Amino acid sequence: MDIRQSIHSEHAKTLDTAGLRREFLIPEVFRPGEFTMTYSHIDRIVVGGIMPLAAPVVLPASLGKTYGVDFFLQRREMGMINIGGPGWVQADGETFEVDSEEALYLGQGIRELSFHSADAANPAKFYYNSAPAHARFPSRRVRRDEAVCVTLGDAASANRRTIRKFIIPDVLPTCQVTMGMTRLEEGSLWNTMPCHTHDRRMEVYLYFGMDADTAVFHMMGQPQETRHIVVRNEQAVISPSWSIHSGVGTRAYTFIWGMVGENQVFDDMDHVKVADLR
Ligand SMILES: O=C[C@H](O)[C@@H](O)CC(=O)C(=O)O
Ligand SMILES: [Zn+2]
């Protein structure tokens, strides 16, 4: 398991390319037949991918000292979005179908979990964000048409995009996790610009739907001390509360955003004027 410590903005600004990538980039989210885990001490989010092939992927029974609990969701919840082919999840005997680009929320307390692909040649890819949870809310599949959908931006600023909010309080209750998916229109390149921070929540982006010869320059850092990380297809980036999170691609892409922290109010952002960025 990959463990990332919390990081101070004063430390982060001294890092070079390799250092920024070591602290913030999750280079390999999906490994065939595996359950990947990156544990960040920032709000104790766990980020990873589950990619079952012919055999189901089962959560390891014992997670050892890192978690110090009897099973993964004993004191946690988990949100996920499937960016691969159709699949299903078995959770304490209950079956949840999860089609491509649908979400699943799994409440705290679920002990037995297995993940399945309908077709090993077109495997499901469950991308998940998990956070500590203080209460058990019902597990639920969220279909595409159940997500709250908004289209923002314009072609002139190359940021025309549709945001699908799958796991937010308006759709279903969770303790901490909120998740959704933002797709850029052909010819649009920028996400989240003008950008923002939210001291009350951290955020992780997973970029996907990208060809091998494309890249997203993910913008991070304090608004007056920006840095960038070059991100490829199906890589994720951790954004501490003090950091902006925005990106520009060499062509259009899609990303999943997931947030964990104090509040769940999507629009509660501290907006940064482009003129104020450094
Ligand atoms: O706090 C919210 C997140 O940064 C994203 O939802 C922003 C986003 O998807 C976009 O503007 O395209
Ligand atoms: Zn944000």
Distance 257 CA to ligand 1 centre (A): 7
- What's the token pair of residue 39? 């544990």
Q: What is the residue whose two structure tokens read 């490994």?
A: 31
Q: What is the mean pLDDT of the segment spanning 43-68?
A: 91
Specify the pLDDT at position 65: 85
Comparing C-alpha atoms, which of 208, 60, 35, 33 is closest to residue 123?
33
Q: Which residues fall within 8 angstroms of residue 118, CB to CB, at 6 or more apart?
A: 85, 86, 87, 88, 124
Q: What is the mean pLDDT of the segment spanning 39-52?
A: 98
Instruction: Please tell me whether the overall predicted TM-score, pTM, comes out greater than 0.95 for this model.
Output: yes
Specify the pLDDT at position 63: 83
- What's the token pair of residue 188? 């649009």
Q: Burial level of 90, CB count in 10 A (0-12/13-18/19+)? A: middle
- Neighbouring CB atoms inside 10 A of 101's CB total 18
What would the 3-class secondary structure string for 203-250 be?
Answer: EEEEEECCCCCCCEEEEEEECCEEEEEEECCCEEEEECCCCCCEEEEC
Whether the per-residue pLDDT at 51 is higher than 90: the answer is yes
Percent of the chain with pLDDT over 90: 96
CATH classification code of 8-133+141-276: 2.60.120.10
Contact 167/231 with Cβ under 8 angstroms? no
**pLDDT digit string (tens) for 229-241?**
999 999 999 999 9
Widest CA span of the chain, in angstroms? 54
Q: Which residues fall within 8 angstroms of residue 18, CB to CB, at 6 or more apart?
A: none
Binding site annotation covers 218? no
Q: Best of 163, 185, 241, 269 to mutate for ligand 1, by most ligand atoms within 8 A of CB?
A: 163
The DSSP bridge partners found for residue 222 are 225
Burial code (b: 16+ CB inside 10 Å, e: under 16) for 50-76 equals bbbbeebbebeeebeeebeeebbbebb
Comparing C-alpha atoms, which of 212, 124, 127, 137 is closest to residue 168?
137
Using DSSP's 3-state secondary structure scheme, residue 92 falls into coil
Q: What is the residue whose two structure tokens read 């359950």?
A: 35
- Amino acid at site 172: L
Binding site annotation covers 203? yes
Q: Best of 182, 195, 244 to mutate for ligand 1, by most ligand atoms within 8 A of CB?
A: 182
**pLDDT digit string (tens) for 136-190?**
999 999 999 999 999 999 999 999 999 999 999 999 999 999 999 999 999 999 9
Whether the per-residue pLDDT at 216 is higher than 70: the answer is yes
Whether the per-residue pLDDT at 64 is higher than 90: the answer is no
| Nearest protein Cα to ligand 1, atom 1 | 266
| Nearest protein Cα to ligand 1, atom 2 | 266
Whether the per-residue pLDDT at 59 is higher than 80: the answer is yes
Q: Measuring from each residue's beta carbon to the nearest atom of ligand 1, which residues come in under 6 Å?
A: 161, 163, 182, 191-192, 203, 245, 257, 269
**pLDDT digit string (tens) for 223-278?**
999 999 999 999 999 999 999 999 999 999 999 999 999 999 999 999 999 999 99
Specify the pLDDT at position 61: 67
Q: What is the mean pLDDT of the segment spanning 187-216?
A: 98
Q: Which residues fall within 8 angstroms of residue 117, CB to CB, at 6 or more apart?
A: 51, 52, 53, 54, 84, 85, 86, 87, 123, 124
